[in-house]
Amino acid sequence: MELLGHLADGFGTSLMPLNLLIVFLGVTAGLFIGAMPGLGSVNGVAIVLPLTFIVPPSSAIILLAAIYYGAMYGGAISSILLGIPGASTAVATTFDGRPMAQQGKAGLALITAAVASFVGGTISVLLFTLFATPLADVALAFGPAEEFALVLLAFMTFVGLGGDDVLKTIIMICLGLALSTVGLDLISGQPRLIFFDLPGFYSGISFLVLAIGVYGIGEILYTIETQKTAPSVTPARLTFRELGYGIKEINKLWKTMSLGSALGFFVGMLPAAGATPAALMSYGIAKLTTKTPERFGKGAIEGVAAPETANNAASTGSLLPMLTLGIPGSPTTALLLGGMVMWGLVPGPMLFIEQPDFVWGLISSLYTANLAAVLVNLALIPLFVWALRMPFTVLCALVFVLCLVGGFAPSQKLHDVWLIVAFGVGGYILRKADYPMAPLVLALVLGPLMEKSFRQTLISEQGNVLAFVERPLSGTFIALSAAFLLLPLIKHLKRLTGRVPSAAK
């Protein structure tokens, strides 16, 4: 019952006219960003973050969460109309969404995607509401040793489950952590890693600079080569009769959608997994459990509903560890976390005690954002069809300008703008060579926490390293981390021993 009281208070915040307006603006912006091929939620949040100084912190985070949400809905639009996923999270939507559009059922596919996203979002926000307080209570018992072990675990999930090249993942984690140490030493206050004696490095490297560089400049450089030719947009008409028919069809898909939502929510909580694998897994499960798997890939309506529920559920799921533990579940939530720290809000269990208004305002705004997103999505479909015809070079030029100016605005130092360009080019080259970007950004955001908790523990334990293993919770986290680190090694050994049968591949 206490929960409902908190939630009611939260709605008091999120239903304020300013916040409602912000939610609508955020989801609309998010829908457009998500619909643009090449730009996803993480790019949207990175580019818009510096512009959020215009509103108070609690509204700013609502705006960013709404963009995050909208982008998840929007990714499906270009998957269906262009056959190109609007964001990596919508890859699985192309499998059946594109064939549906080619059969002249683009309208139905868009309706399915929007409604399925709404169902996935709503179920996962309910789960979020239920799990948030208990998890924050558990996290209250965490000391620095547990914090360190948990951050380590977050990184090791990338190594064990990330699916990218293990060596390259390790490099990116260490690079992010090393970059986070630039500036003043946390304990002794001595300057360190002041490259070329530039005074700009004394204040460290802001996560925003890296994020705008990698996800703004780097991402657009990456899309320049893939977007040379203008794609053909499938026209989509939407009538109320189709809407009614669509909702009736979707009503038959409850099993697929609830499965997808639960799956998405729990997969989304893992730092290394997130919305893209969740959507692919959900698609696979829907195909396995259906009686007519042969329709999949040829325009099955379940094939659109399953991944769309899962990717929206995953985006809510990844907010849970970020708010309750201070460990983001995805690169986008890592940026939200960085933003919150910038505004003086420290995510983690204490937030639930010290800033209940903020926490519950944000949680309740997820409900309003969901509703707003489905309404805006359905209402603006003709506009999206038109916007997808926009030449890509116009979008690129504007994003570049926003990156440069947005990168300058928070600190007002040209030093940061130069760093953004450098990170953009460096990130582009690394990404082209298959180095994963998510662990890099996560490591830069979590680096200071990791180093601080590590050294705090050692100081309080008089240098006893075993302290991390002796405490039950942190010991468990460390053991899990070790298991994730060893997982790829075991796989590798297995492949070596069983070389004869796999040699044929």
Query: Per CB under 8 A, which region of 49-57, 316-324, 362-370, 372-380 contacts another protein?
Result: 49-57
Closest CA to 63 of 74, 71, 72, 52: 52
Q: With binding defined as CB under 8 A, does residue 449 bind another protein? A: no
Q: With binding defined as CB under 8 A, does residue 240 bind another protein? A: no
* CA dist., res. 503 & res. 499, Å (int): 6
Q: With binding defined as CB under 8 A, does residue 414 bind another protein? A: yes
- Grouping H, G, I as helix, E, B as strand and the rest as coil, residue 41 is helix
* CA dist., res. 331 & res. 40, Å (int): 11
Closest CA to 180 of 366, 392, 444: 444
Q: Which residues, listed in sequence order, are joined to residue 192 by a DSSP beta bridge?
A: 183
Q: With binding defined as CB under 8 A, does residue 463 bind another protein? A: yes
Q: Which two tokens stand for residue 274?
A: 């997130």
Using CB under 8 A, pick the residue from 401, 483, 489, 490 that binds another protein. 401
Task: Report the residue number, 196 or 240, with the smaller CB distance to another protein.
Answer: 196
Number of chain residues interacting with another protein (CB under 8 A)? 60
Q: With binding defined as CB under 8 A, does residue 492 bind another protein? A: no
- Grouping H, G, I as helix, E, B as strand and the rest as coil, residue 107 is helix
* CA dist., res. 389 & res. 386, Å (int): 5
Task: Report the residue number, 127 or 182, with the smaller CB distance to another protein.
Answer: 182
Using CB under 8 A, pick the residue from 433, 466, 496, 504 that binds another protein. 433
Q: With binding defined as CB under 8 A, does residue 11 bind another protein? A: no
Q: With binding defined as CB under 8 A, does residue 455 bind another protein? A: yes
Task: Report the residue number, 463 or 501, with the smaller CB distance to another protein.
Answer: 463
Task: Report the residue number, 84 or 421, with the smaller CB distance to another protein.
Answer: 421
- Widest CA span of the chain, in angstroms? 72
Buried b / exposed e over 481-490, threshold 16 CB at 10 Å, is beebbebbee
Strand 191-192 to strand 183-184: parallel, antiparallel, or no bridges (unpaired)? antiparallel
Using CB under 8 A, pick the residue from 353, 429, 479, 483 that binds another protein. 429
SS3 content of the chain, % helix, strand, coil (to 5): 80, 0, 20
Binding mask 182-221 for another protein (x = CB under 8 A): x--x-xx-x-xxxx---------------------x---x
CB 392 within 8 A of CB 84: no
User: Which positions touch another protein (CB under 8 A)?
Assistant: 51, 53-54, 167-168, 170-171, 174-175, 177-178, 181-182, 185, 187-188, 190, 192-195, 217, 221, 224-225, 228, 391, 393-394, 396-398, 400-401, 404-405, 408-409, 412, 414, 417-418, 421, 424-425, 428-430, 432-433, 435, 451, 454-455, 458-459, 461-464
